[in-house]
Structure 1
Amino acid sequence: MTSTELKGFILTRHWRDAPAGTEIEYWLATDAGPVKVVLTSQTSVAFVATRHRAAVEAHLMAMPGLQMRELELKTFHQEPVTGVYAKHFRQLGRLMRALQAQGIPLLEADVRPHDRYLMERFITAGVLVEGGRADRSTIVDCKLKPAPEFRPVLKVVSLDIETSQHEALYSIALDGTQDRVVFMLGEPPPEPSEQSSGSGGPMDFSLIYCPTRKAMIEKLNDWFERNDPDVIIGWNAIQFDLRVLQKTANECGTQLLLGRERRPIEWRTHPGKQGYLFAPMPGRVIIDGIDALKAAVWSFPSFSLETVSQTLLGEGKAIGDEYDKMAEIERRYQEDKPALALYNIRDCELVLRIFDKAKLLQFVMERAQTTGLQADHFGGSIAAFSHHYLPRMHRQGYVAPNVGEIASKAYPGGYVMDSKPGFYDSVVVLDYKSLYPSIIRTFLVDPVGFIEGSNAGDATMLVKGPQGTVFSREKHCLPEIVTTLWRARDEAKRTKNEPLSQALKLLMNSFAGVLGAADCRFFNPKLVSAITLRGHEMMKLTREFVEDRDYEVIYGDTDSIFIWLRRTHTNENAHAVATTLVRDINAWWTNSLREEHGLQNLLEIEFDTHYKKFFMPTIRGSDVGSKKRYAGLSVDANGKEEMVYRGLEMARSDWTPLARQFQEGLLSRIFHDEPYKEFVTDYAEALLAGKMDDLLIYRKRLRHRLDAYLVNVPPQVRAARIADDHNSRVNRPRQYQNGGWIRYVMTRSGPEPMEIRQSRIDYEHYLTRQLQPIADAILQPIGESFMALTTSQRGLF
């Protein structure tokens, strides 16, 4: 029968080679529930330069099902191409490898069928389903069209497990649906009253005891089939929770069947990250909270669930450090399983609330709709670029080159001006709105446009770029893509759809980087340089414009310019000056681009910040101004003040809280014209008196395995080795062999981890290595020094 027309949102996508041809499977979330779409007998396509047709035909006899067809398309080298059509997608891979041995490139053979089907129809995530044969919740051989506005209500479950220190599974918690449950290994307590022992009161979830781990996995499978969620969320959900569940199922001789239709996880390893796993499953999206926060550009000192929940929600669930936590989990499992169940489901609750607070599910959905990537695929800037670019490029008559056609080569990055260090009153910052996307739009920077321009005969139809590059005024793709995204972002901001606005901004801003990525098929140093060097030129011209008006530019970074107004201004006057500069600079760009290049100005500078007080430090140990490091006291149009730190110790997690708190206090006093000398001396005295010991902890990351550090062993590695030697002696698992984060203090005996600190603290280290460098960077421009102010305190030590 024919299906009725319905709208859906793509959750997962998959392809397989079946006897009748390649099949594509999409699982959709719809208002009527989940729907599986199956498209059968799909033909896959790749392209080869027509001059190699005979070489390709020589392989066709051994590959039945391949056909060739002349096309009105050409390569970037202006060669006509022939289409190679395959009944099975894997045939293209075999043909590609055979031709590689002959030095013949088969183009676009790596574009997977389920991706090509969507991109060639300009579908990202929202789809309109038309026609086809419907059988219950499956629709076969229908047509899909874009439905970019459709957003379903997704059914979400938060999953978390608890284990022993050796990853033996104790419990599984599931929250987010009405069927809130914890599956617990073991027998139920003999008395009902023990259900709430130590657990803080009655439970509002089901606690189901399972005699074996195999029974736990089977009940978990049944729960997923019964509740049928669209999305699984968690914290380190794939690398820990699902991995342990899969390992447990394997050890028990049973299957973990969490996908729709009771299908297994299709585990894959990351080709570039050893031990990093992907866990795709049919019909369900897995969203890890850590990955989602990072993709949405959230920043925290640590992405542990405890740190993030304390920061966003003002509460957590910690039951001690890593060792106390494992001991307490073990105690609860042995003595008070209801208390362990409460702790387990508490993690699920916190993850649900973090997702709600940070609007992570909305961001993930908008990102999928914006990029064309599956909702749980993070990163993927190159894939997102290709999803938008390839179909538009085909309609301009071109096929894409293969990765590696142009050798990797360095190119200029963003323009960073030399800074003028010191303290300033009345500094305003102007910022170019989405600088690189606006350069692409204005100067028509584009891969196809570059090829067309390089082969054009009529110079009047070209836009000249840096380093002799030229771009077609008529034939291009990327400027239109950026313009569409730009307008969508303006609409998202107008309607206050922050997740969509953020997703669009991140996608647009990734395009220049994609053109400069060697593993992108469109990589070209000339292309990305045409963007970055145009940015250099714009910043230099903007500086000249500002200084012609008798203001002084003291710093500039990629798209922002810092302007000293040369004398103290009231907040109102400073804002007025900035507004005038913005108006005049934008008008100047409009006139000069029209008159000199015949281009429409799509560049826009905006007023960003007024700093009532501003500090630009020097590079430590020199008189040269630093870059990407400054602090200021900002004031908005309503007079609200805020301390701002960029790149300083205050904003860096690898300095101690002692240093960050000191820097903040000293700068705040100077910016507010308050006495600061006594603050410095009192702070040093309190340090030496042992009153600030809780602020002396370093927290640093171990980026490699411990045994990889052979020479120049840094303090954090020495501390980690001491910690793991101690862990081995007391029969605890070693924590740092494969990297991670270590907390330690500097003592008279060197760095010692918090797990086993024995020696006296080296206060001299903190005085000279933490406080003095920070103080002198701030004090020396005003004629003071840390040594002079703290001589008496050092004598006490």
Structure 2
Amino acid sequence: MSSEKKGKEYYLRKIPEDTPCLLLSSFYVGEKKSVFLKFYNPSDYQVYFWSEYFFQNAATHKHQPYCFVKKEFASEANRIVDEDKARYTIQTVKKLDDILDEEIEILKILAPDPLAIGGTDNSFREKVTSWEADIKYHESYLYDIGLIPGAFYKRIGNSLVFHEFSIPKGVDQYLNSLFTSNNFQNTFSNNEYDKFLLKWSRLLNQPIPNIKRLALDIEVDSEEGRMPTARDHDRIITAVGLSGSDGLKKVYVLKRGSESEVTSLDQSIEICETEKEMLLKVFELLKDYPIVLTYNGDDFDLPYLYARSQDPRIDPKNGSPIEKDLVPIVIKRESFIKRGIQADPVTLQNGIHIDLFRTFQNRSVQNYAFSHKYSEFTLRAISEALLEDTKIEFEGSISDLSIQKLAEYCLKDADLTFRLSSFNDNLLMKLIIIIARISRMSIEDITRFGVNQWIRSMMFFEHRQQNIIIPRRDELLQKGTSSTTAIIKEKKYRGGLVVEPELGIHFNVVVVDFASLYPSIIKVHNLSYETVNCPHGECKGNQLNHIEGTSHWICRKKRGMTSILIGTLRDLRVNYYKNLSKDNTLTKEDKQLYSVISQAIKVILNATYGVMGAEIFPLYCLPVAEATAAIGRTTTMRTIKKCNEDNVKVIYGDTDSLFLKNPSNERLSSISNWAKQELGVDLEIDKRYRYVVFSALKKNYLGVLEDGTVDVKGLTGKKSHTPPFIRKAFYEILNVLKEVFSEKDFTNAKIKIKKVVHSLAEDLEKRNIPLEELSFNVMINKSPEKYGIKSTSIGNRTISLDGKAKDFNNVKGVPQHIKAAKQLVELGKDLKAGDIISYVKTRTLDGVKPVSLVNKSEVDNEKYLETMEATFDQVLSSLNLNFKSIIGKPRQSNLDELFWS
């Protein structure tokens, strides 16, 4: 077999017939002019492929790349097609235009390859105003065929068929009750709504297999003052650690000179004579795993492995690189590596690659899936937060480690990466698959793109399935603009209602939460880009359809797509999956699955309203976002009015939460039932506080829950970058407040708190606080080069990637941690994206110095007093205490301090 054939045969391994397999992803192969699909077979743990290319001689219509052109641009489109008939063909088709609410004739432009439609300066979309020309072809294929990543399919002949799993009887009963209880606006028939409920449940109830996977981490020999990059790939790979779901624990280490033995006879460590030998063994292992996990592998590990494999220097004896057909890593655009830019995700021939760094960086995953348990995105920080484990510590350069220590360090990183995918019964992997099902998006794309792309894909899929043309941005802008005035400066319309808090201390406070408030409003009030400010005169003319506080109206003739999609997901989560996750008649595994599904839906729902009002979202429609917020304010105000009528005092409110003082259970139940019946929203008890303390600062409060837990909202003292000496004192203050049970207890609590603050200020003045305790700890999100920092510097001038000099002392707005990072790089420190920079505020020219470089006499005490005041005042103001009074002297400028000295 020729090397060319061997290198290409991986995507010719056809999915077996009549065997349920999980769709993982789709990709386009240019030379075959066809989309290929990757499937995982749980019965043999292998990846298989499917493509129309397999059946190209069959009498079936082959899918082609295309875009649409409306009739007003038809003459221009016809001219382009006539000039290049070899590339383009043209058809007249009918599509539904949801903005106009009518069927229209439209031109469909077909091409032999995706680049003919879009992606180059000579593409069709660059010449003619087009619709749907910017959708990636592998996505477009899934939308048209109706294939859903994360779902199971069987191949029957030349066709893929959705595999139906039976729903347990007990689970089916919950679903039946959901259909009968659905009381969506009576204006519409429930048939369409119920069909979506059934489709969602059949899809989401499919089992989730434990996919065989492998985590990988590499270590590269370092050079003082330089960080290794895939572009240069001139530093040898010294170790590769591997940790698998099948129990594999393996680390390959490169032999160093005469050092050939590992002191402990650890079977997981294998020493390789050459770098080429090591990489060949790693590549052979990678081929056996459907999923390969890395931490920052898109930007470093996999591009570096690939680039190094093609470098003759890995084989000093023969000077030959590794044949490409033996390398399982696929770099979509090799030119990016040569230019030092990694713009595309890196994948694998025989599987898929998931970069957990990008996954955990996703704000929706951070906030909604993991409840903000981590605030930094380093492997160390996330492992400590979620696994209660951490990386191996060492001092000096990694090149100075013995083979034994290097192997342990590398394997530990690989193992932590794997465990982040497996902890809590494979929670992360299950979340990824469920989100792929909801969004109709390849698993690789799910882990690399934000929630706005997830919702975009879900919406685009449904447009194609219903033969609705996807509107352009300029069409959506014609729907109208804002009719309310924003309170928050950067917003374009007025947001949620905030009820100013009653300052001070309040005992026995219950927080009630509108469960999925905005998704509920989108459902109940039929909000979607085509239904807000619809084209029907009778809808606009009926005052009952107008949204209070705005100039917008809602359609009552048809049900909106967003309303159906989000409404059915919301109902399934609130009334179906949340109940199933608590049903003790089900197995532990089933309950855990339903809990994960509920969590995944929550991630999508909580982001829906936000993306509707975000310009980055392709279906951005300002009137929809504004209408949602306006109805939200009305919902909150009506609920407050109901509370007042029932003699329940509201002491604070923010968007979807109300703080109620000393309400009885009967009153809470009454208000909740009223909200369900009158407003179509679920009002649930979120928290019960022993007491809450409100400060004058907006959205900042602290409370002690009934179990004694101190709950802090928006207070900087708990943030990870706050200097440790301030953070420790802050938590010491919270522990004092934890012991308060009555108003009398606050007298003693105030005395203790004043003592903590005064003592800390004294220690600062006397310079008794260790430098490590004074450090601010901030993560760099990009490599130093991307900030324009390189180790080759002339004075304060640093050469950036584009060759232009930057004067860091004169550039306004350069973050302090970047100034500190620059100082470290200039001294030869290797830094990469995700590293934590620890610095101290000083009286030096930069105003900061890395902890390792600072002298105690350089510390700027005045700046630290400012930080202390900003942190503690958030609590002190609630207790009617004043920071300046506690420390016993007025604040001074540096000049004043010199004068008084």
**TM-score category, normalised to shorter length:** 0.7 to 0.9
Q: What amino acid does structure 1 have at the position aligned with 2:468?
A: Y
Instruction: Find the partner of 2:471 among 401, 405, 418.
Output: 401
Gap change, CA 1:382 and 1:461, over 3 Å in 2 = farther
- Give the whole-Å Cα distance in 2 for the aligned partners of 1:99 and 1:792: 72
> Alpha-carbon deviation of 1:58?
2.8
Aligned twin of 1:186: 255
Contact 2:527–2:562 at 8 Å: present in 1 too? yes
Gap change, CA 1:355 and 1:238, over 3 Å in 2 = same
2:638 corresponds to 1:541: yes
Instruction: Find the partner of 1:607 among 671, 674, 685.
Output: 685
Q: What amino acid does structure 2 have at the position aligned with 1:39?
A: E
Contact 1:164–1:330 at 8 Å: present in 2 too? yes
The within-5 A match list for 1:566-605 is: 574=662, 577=664, 579-592=665-678, 601=680, 603-605=681-683
> Alpha-carbon deviation of 1:559?
1.0
Aligned twin of 1:411: 493
Instruction: Find the partner of 1:442 among 524, 527, 532.
Output: 524
Gap change, CA 1:459 and 1:540, over 3 Å in 2 = same
3-state SS of 1:608 partner: strand
Contact 1:748–1:760 at 8 Å: present in 2 too? no
3-state SS of 1:118 partner: helix
3-state SS of 1:438 partner: helix
Aligned twin of 1:338: 404
2:266 corresponds to 1:209: no
- Give the whole-Å Cα distance in 1 for the aligned partners of 2:295 and 2:465: 43
Q: What amino acid does structure 2 have at the position aligned with 1:413?
A: G
More strand by share: 1
Structure 1 vs Structure 2 CA RMSD: 3.7
Answer with 424-433 or 300-309: which moved more.
Answer: 300-309
3-state SS of 2:856 partner: coil
3-state SS of 2:592 partner: coil
2:352 corresponds to 1:285: yes
3-state SS of 2:555 partner: strand
The within-5 A match list for 1:696-775 is: 696-701=774-779, 704-705=787-788, 707=806, 709=808, 710-711=811-812, 715-725=816-826, 727=827, 732-733=828-829, 735=831, 741-747=836-842, 749=844, 750-760=847-857, 762=859, 764-765=861-862, 768-775=865-872
3-state SS of 2:52 partner: strand
- Give the whole-Å Cα distance in 2 for the aligned partners of 1:156 and 1:502: 23
Gap change, CA 1:761 and 1:87, over 3 Å in 2 = closer
Aligned twin of 1:570: none
- Give the whole-Å Cα distance in 2 for the aligned partners of 1:642 and 1:84: 61
Per-residue CA shift, 1:495-514, capped at 9, x if unaligned?
A: 23343222211112222222
- Give the whole-Å Cα distance in 2 for the aligned partners of 1:387 and 1:107: 16
Gap change, CA 1:390 and 1:304, over 3 Å in 2 = closer
Per-residue CA shift, 1:421-464, capped at 9, x if unaligned?
A: 32222322111111111111110101233365546569679843
Per-residue CA shift, 1:376-402, capped at 9, x if unaligned?
A: 323343433243323544566631112
Q: What amino acid does structure 1 have at the position aligned with 2:497?
A: Y
- Give the whole-Å Cα distance in 1 for the aligned partners of 2:543 and 2:35: 43
Gap change, CA 1:423 and 1:70, over 3 Å in 2 = same
Contact 2:117–2:125 at 8 Å: present in 1 too? no
- Give the whole-Å Cα distance in 2 for the aligned partners of 1:633 and 1:584: 26
- Give the whole-Å Cα distance in 1 for the aligned partners of 2:666 and 2:433: 40
Per-residue CA shift, 1:173-198, capped at 9, x if unaligned?
A: 2221465433322368677xx322xx
2:108 corresponds to 1:84: yes
Gap change, CA 1:733 and 1:239, over 3 Å in 2 = same
2:238 corresponds to 1:170: yes
Extract unaligned runs of 5+ from structure 2. Answer: 1-13, 54-61, 165-202, 229-234, 313-319, 483-491, 581-590, 782-786, 790-805, 892-896
Instruction: Find the partner of 1:489 among 566, 570, 573.
Output: 573
Aligned twin of 2:784: none
2:371 corresponds to 1:304: no
Contact 1:616–1:630 at 8 Å: present in 2 too? yes
Q: What amino acid does structure 2 have at the position aligned with 1:556?
A: G
- Give the whole-Å Cα distance in 1 for the aligned partners of 2:300 and 2:120: 39
Contact 1:454–1:470 at 8 Å: present in 2 too? no
- Give the whole-Å Cα distance in 2 for the aligned partners of 1:489 and 1:542: 23
3-state SS of 1:278 partner: coil
Contact 1:257–1:265 at 8 Å: present in 2 too? no
- Give the whole-Å Cα distance in 2 for the aligned partners of 1:245 and 1:444: 51
Per-residue CA shift, 1:701-728, capped at 9, x if unaligned?
A: 5675464751366644544444344x1x
- Give the whole-Å Cα distance in 2 for the aligned partners of 1:590 and 1:314: 41
Aligned twin of 1:115: 139
Aligned twin of 1:66: 89
Aligned twin of 2:184: none
Contact 1:450–1:470 at 8 Å: present in 2 too? yes
Aligned twin of 1:569: none
> Alpha-carbon deviation of 1:63?
2.7
Aligned twin of 1:136: none
Instruction: Find the partner of 1:6 among 8, 13, 19.
Output: 19
> Alpha-carbon deviation of 1:237?
1.9
2:420 corresponds to 1:354: yes
Answer with 407-416 or 505-514: which moved more.
Answer: 407-416
> Alpha-carbon deviation of 1:25?
0.4
3-state SS of 2:531 partner: helix
Count of aligned positions: 730
Contact 2:539–2:556 at 8 Å: present in 1 too? no
Gap change, CA 1:9 and 1:98, over 3 Å in 2 = closer
Answer with 379-388 or 786-795: which moved more.
Answer: 786-795
3-state SS of 2:498 partner: coil
Extract unaligned runs of 5+ from structure 1. Answer: 133-140, 566-573, 594-600, 619-625
> Alpha-carbon deviation of 1:353?
2.2
Aligned twin of 2:505: 423
Aligned twin of 2:555: 471
Aligned twin of 2:798: none
Gap change, CA 1:36 and 1:182, over 3 Å in 2 = same
- Give the whole-Å Cα distance in 1 for the aligned partners of 2:266 and 2:834: 38
- Give the whole-Å Cα distance in 2 for the aligned partners of 1:370 and 1:784: 51
- Give the whole-Å Cα distance in 1 for the aligned partners of 2:638 and 2:626: 18
3-state SS of 1:678 partner: helix
2:153 corresponds to 1:128: yes
- Give the whole-Å Cα distance in 1 for the aligned partners of 2:305 and 2:440: 30
2:310 corresponds to 1:250: yes
Contact 2:533–2:540 at 8 Å: present in 1 too? no
How high is the TM-score relative to the length of structure 2? 0.73
Q: What amino acid does structure 2 have at the position aligned with 1:93?
A: G
Gap change, CA 1:454 and 1:391, over 3 Å in 2 = farther
Contact 1:9–1:150 at 8 Å: present in 2 too? no
3-state SS of 1:6 partner: coil
Determine what percentage of the aligned residue pairs are the same residue: 19
2:354 corresponds to 1:317: no
- Give the whole-Å Cα distance in 2 for the aligned partners of 1:154 and 1:87: 37
Q: What amino acid does structure 2 have at the position aligned with 1:215?
A: E
Gap change, CA 1:146 and 1:439, over 3 Å in 2 = farther
3-state SS of 2:777 partner: strand
- Give the whole-Å Cα distance in 2 for the aligned partners of 1:263 and 1:275: 14
- Give the whole-Å Cα distance in 2 for the aligned partners of 1:285 and 1:455: 51
How high is the TM-score relative to the length of structure 1? 0.82
- Give the whole-Å Cα distance in 1 for the aligned partners of 2:256 and 2:861: 57
Aligned twin of 1:642: 709
- Give the whole-Å Cα distance in 1 for the aligned partners of 2:295 and 2:615: 32
3-state SS of 1:645 partner: strand
- Give the whole-Å Cα distance in 2 for the aligned partners of 1:544 and 1:305: 48
Instruction: Find the partner of 1:266 among 320, 332, 350.
Output: 332
Contact 1:171–1:185 at 8 Å: present in 2 too? yes
- Give the whole-Å Cα distance in 1 for the aligned partners of 2:63 and 2:466: 24
